Chains A and B, each alone.
Chain A
Amino acid sequence: MKIVVPIKRVIDPYIKVRVKADNSGVETNNVKMTINPFCEIAVEEAVRLKEQGIADEIIVVCAGEKQCREQLRTALALGADRAIHVDTHNNIEPLIVAKLLAAIVEQEKASLVITGKQSIDTDNNQVAQMLAALLDWPQATFASNISINQQQMEVVREVDGGLMTVTMTLPAVVSTDLRLNEPRFASLPNIMKAKRKSLDTISADSLGVEVTYSQTITEVTPPQARKSGVKVESVSELVDKLRNEAKVIV
């Protein structure tokens, strides 16, 4: 079985982003970039499925400008077999990403796609569901456990109010939640080996996908700053402030 794992290059999640002074976006120059954490979990899960003998080949895909090849190399070092870089703009919309992925999945005849549930920059949480819709495959979003037996997959999903376990027949699309696994670190020998793995760059045109935009971001603004608070000295002072100043308790 072939698994396709889409990944995204994003600002490191531990960095506090700065909105540009002209409100056109957030500053990405000279900011540390990394694989989106949810995508890292997706790569790890695919590698584990390969280690269990369930998957034969893992293909990682990233759509964006040429710098995203760095993140593809990292995914190769983590255990992916080969990589496809779709050379396009960095900020293409989820529907276009889903169309590119659908074309690749069909070309590669993959039977499982594991994506992150959301990227931590745009926070959309859309690509997996859109891809599943385009392929007309079942979707198991927000997965915290995956087990595969032949063509049957059982997934535990994190939903509001608890956990939901579903089964579905492959092919299918899964999106990862944080608790699916603990991603490994790439070892130096694996980083060296990854340099020899195949990393192809292709165009969106070659996949028959027209890169269009259905939305425009006209302005990006920082959140309203909260008024700075006060430190209280004792529990009784806190209770007094909550009762009489903030009036949030009776």
Chain B
Amino acid sequence: MKNLIIAEHDNHQLHADTLKVVSAATQTSQDNTLLVMGSQCDAVAQQASQIDGISQVICIDDPAYVHQFAESLAPTIANMAKEYQGVWCCSSSKGKDLAPRVAAKCGVGQISDIVQVIDENTFIRPIYAGNAFAKVTSHDDLRVVTVRASAFEVVECNNQVDIIYQQATPHSHSVELVSIDKTESARPELTAAEVVISGGRGVGSKENFALIEQLADKLGAAIGASRAAVDAGFVANDLQVGQTGKIVAPKLYIAVGISGAIQHLAGMKESKVIVAINKDPESPIFEVADYGLVGDLFEILPQLIEQL
């Protein structure tokens, strides 16, 4: 089996989740090509060439790929895929946008958000907001897979493989970028953080989120939120943890003022240790919490910040 792994990057830096996709792909084959498509992305190709388990890097560097729109990447990848039996992407917003378009161009099914590789055709993936796991076998000659990064370990980077530079065949498409509004933060990235502190409706206001931030800074943690907190405007959308937001599995997840709805649990219940701080002892979050503390978060958080 020959795998084509699509690198996740921002033209400057390879995203660490790519190392987890490689880890998943190498469970099916030792013949793994990493594809870097972007604009002025040579630094990414250099980083990619050091990843263990990769046999070669293909870099297609062209101004047309600067925003990595699925409309322009998918036809090229689909064309290359004829020589491969696996196409692997991160289950990130980019990967989710791209992989189904590639699969449809190739006329094959797609397997989303896998958490385990059984063999080259068979994978485990969560369904129903993580309340069940399906073992899926593909009958296609080509498997197009997206990988849930939090379910795999990173591979090491002690390698040095060749980078093959290829010419782009940009495809015309009618999508133009207007703007990107990034959520700026000095804190670790939510999906990669070892500790995540999440706030919910119980936090009460945007201002009160400062308490969560102080605790996060104390622990070097990333900040997350429930849908209720996002909808109420306490924090930006991309911090939402859950079925429709980010899936995280940190060492320590602290849920503050979060009731623990099914959709939220879908995004965090694989965390190693879960702490719940909530004033309602009946909250469902306590059913998954390793350590629960019932009480007023406005009394508890300042004490916690002080004692850490």
Contact = CB atoms under 8 A, between A and B. Distances in A.
Interface of A: 11, 13-14, 16-17, 19, 26, 93-95, 98, 117-118, 120-134, 138-142, 144, 154, 157-169, 172, 177-179, 213-223, 226-236, 238-239, 241-242, 246, 248-249
Interface in B124-155: 125-140
Contacts of B82: none
B135 A215 contact: no
A166 B231 CA distance: 23
A242 B304 CA distance: 12
B68 to A, nearest CB: 11
A223 B249 CA distance: 15
A228 to B, nearest CB: 8
B252 A242 contact: yes
Contacts of A233: 293
A229 B109 contact: no
Contact of B231 (A98, A120, A179): A179
B193 interface: no
Given A26-B132, A221-B133, 15 more contacts: A94-B110, A125-B100, A126-B99, A129-B98, A132-B101, A133-B101, A160-B93, A162-B238, A179-B230, A179-B237, A216-B137, A218-B136, A223-B126, A246-B252, A248-B252
Interface of B: 69-71, 74, 92-94, 96-105, 107-113, 122, 125-140, 173-183, 191, 195, 219, 227, 230-231, 236-238, 243-244, 246, 251-252, 262-263, 269, 272-275, 281, 286-294, 300, 303-304, 307-308
A168 B138 contact: no
Contacts of A16: 131, 262
B104 A133 contact: yes
A121 B127 contact: yes
B238 A158 contact: yes
9 contacts: A126-B112, A160-B92, A161-B238, A168-B175, A177-B244, A215-B136, A229-B288, A231-B281, A241-B291
Nearest to A38: B244
A218 B135 contact: yes
Given A220-B132, A220-B134, A231 B294 contact: yes
Nearest to B277: A238
* CB-based closest 7 A-B pairs: A129-B100, A133-B104, A214-B109, A130-B104, A126-B100, A165-B178, A229-B290
Question: For the complex, would chain B's binding face be called helix, strand, loop or mixed by DSSP majority?
Answer: mixed
A214 B291 contact: no
Nearest to B302: A235
B273 A124 contact: no
B270 to A, nearest CB: 9
A127 B286 CA distance: 36
Contacts of A216: 136-137, 139
Contacts of A159: 93-94, 238
A246 B274 CA distance: 10
B127 A220 contact: yes
Best-surrounded residue of B97, B275, B292 (most CB of chain A within 10 A)? B97
B306 to A, nearest CB: 9
A101 to B, nearest CB: 11
Contact of A123 (B74, B112, B122, B237): B112
